[in-house]
Amino acid sequence: MKWADDFNKKPEWLHKEAEKIIAHCKRYGQLFLPEVEKTVKPEVIVRTVRQASGKIPAMLICSAYDFYPKPIKLTWMRDDKEMTADVTSTEELADGDWYYQIHSHLEYFPKPGEKISCVVEHASSNKPMIYDLGPSLSESDRNKLITGAAGLVLGLIMAVGGLIYCKRKHTVKPEVINRSIRQASSKIPAMLICSAYDFYPKPIKLTWMRDDKEMTADVTSTEELADGDWYYQIHSNLEYFPKPGEKISCVLEHASSNKAMIYDLGAAGVVLGVIMAAGGLIYYKRRHKANAISAGSQDSRHSEHLQALSGTEEL
């Protein structure tokens, strides 16, 4: 105890050290005391985790989360009377972030019309916080609720079925555009496209006709493409070499019409294609003839030049 005797011989030093410690306590107390005195109200959830069945009681759980400080009390009430039997609770469990949680379980057999509550007492509230589970339903009320829910589901199924049936019976005639997208030129064939838009239902057939005879060669078609709004579209391309006076048609067969729908390209389009093809052929012929004449002229001049050179050598 010699060190104690030495300290007692230095009263002035001890007095200074005591003043330092008191000053530290005051300073740190002002920093941390508000945090220690702070309270955080718990978030409470009351729910059923098991329904009663025969001799098996129902089970409820009352959970309080993220509260501070630690001390808290949970109580189960049945029509405003405390329940103590068949109640099990955890201790206050630390979350590791200054906050806590706790859980309380209650096993009981429900009675019609009763009220079950979880009462929470904590420093964050100056009065008990009461969380009701809600009144229990009688057997007849429960049966009525189940019957009503089943009726609602059945009604929804019938409504959806009726909508689908209505849609299937409902037909929408396609909007058809038949046009030329490339004219014939020399060895390149013309190209036509027949497009059908906004039709319902999906099945449809597109056929190309040439003077009322079906064309199958050089025909390419898409499948029925969904627009995303119950309607569809389809496109068919035809490559061919036009002939004067012929008739090209796109024939559609669809449930929206009791007979085939015929869309003619029109003689004007065919004639125009023929004229352009003929013009291309004439241009090609003239170009070929001009090249031949030019080559002959060059050969003639070359022959005259050779003859002149030969006459000079003889002299």
> From the CB of residue 137, how many other CB atoms can be counted at a distance below 10 Å?
14
Residue 98 and residue 12 in one domain: no
Whole-number Å distance between alpha carbons of 118 and 131: 5
Question: What CATH number is associated with residue 267?
Answer: 2.60.40.10
Is residue 242 in a domain? yes
Is residue 307 in a domain? no
Residue 12 and residue 47 in one domain: no
Return per-residue pLDDT of the chain as tens, 315 residues: 566 677 676 778 777 887 888 777 767 666 655 555 689 999 999 999 999 988 999 999 999 999 999 999 999 999 989 999 999 999 999 998 889 999 999 999 998 889 999 999 999 999 999 999 865 545 565 677 788 888 888 888 988 877 776 666 688 999 999 988 899 888 899 999 999 999 999 999 999 999 999 999 999 999 999 988 889 999 999 999 998 989 999 999 999 999 999 999 854 444 444 454 455 555 555 655 555 555 455 555 545 544 544 444 444
pLDDT value, residue 158:
86
Dihedral sign, Cα of residue 104, residue 108, residue 110, residue 115 = negative
Tally the domains of the chain.
3
Residue 100 and residue 71 in one domain: yes
Q: Could you give phi then psi for residue 257, rounded to 5 degrees?
A: -140, 135
How many residues in the chain? Answer: 315
Could you give the count of Cα atoms lying within 13 Å of 91 in the half-sphere of its Cβ?
Answer: 3
CA 27 to chain centre: 58
User: For residue 256, with 0-12 CB atoms within 10 Å meaning exposed, 13-18 middle and 19 or more buried, which class applies?
Assistant: middle
**229, 167 contact by CB (below 8 A):** no
Residue matched to tokens 């029109």: 266
pLDDT value, residue 315:
40
**263, 249 contact by CB (below 8 A):** yes
pLDDT value, residue 269:
46
**Per the structure block, which two tokens stand in for 212?**
């009322």
**Per the structure block, which two tokens stand in for 57?**
């009681």
Residue 224 and residue 248 in one domain: yes
Instruction: With CA atoms as reference, report the closest residue to 123 among 47, 32, 36, 31.
Output: 36
**Dihedral Cα 295, 301, 303, 305, nearest 10 deg:** -150
ω into residue 112 within 30 of 0, thus cis? no
Domain, as residue range, for 221: 175-274
Is residue 76 in a domain? yes
**Per the structure block, which two tokens stand in for 227?**
């627009």
**60, 46 contact by CB (below 8 A):** yes
Is residue 165 in a domain? no
Residue matched to tokens 């007979």: 259
Is residue 152 in a domain? no
Residue 12 and residue 70 in one domain: no
**287, 295 contact by CB (below 8 A):** no
Is residue 188 in a domain? yes
> From the CB of residue 102, how many other CB atoms can be counted at a distance below 10 Å?
22
Per the DSSP assignment, residues forming a β-bridge with 207 are 251
Whole-number Å distance between alpha carbons of 185 and 277: 5
At residue 199's C-alpha, the angle toward residues 197 and 204, to 5°, is 95
Last residue of a domain, one of 108, 136, 164: 136
Is residue 253 in a domain? yes
Last residue of a domain, one of 117, 136, 155: 136
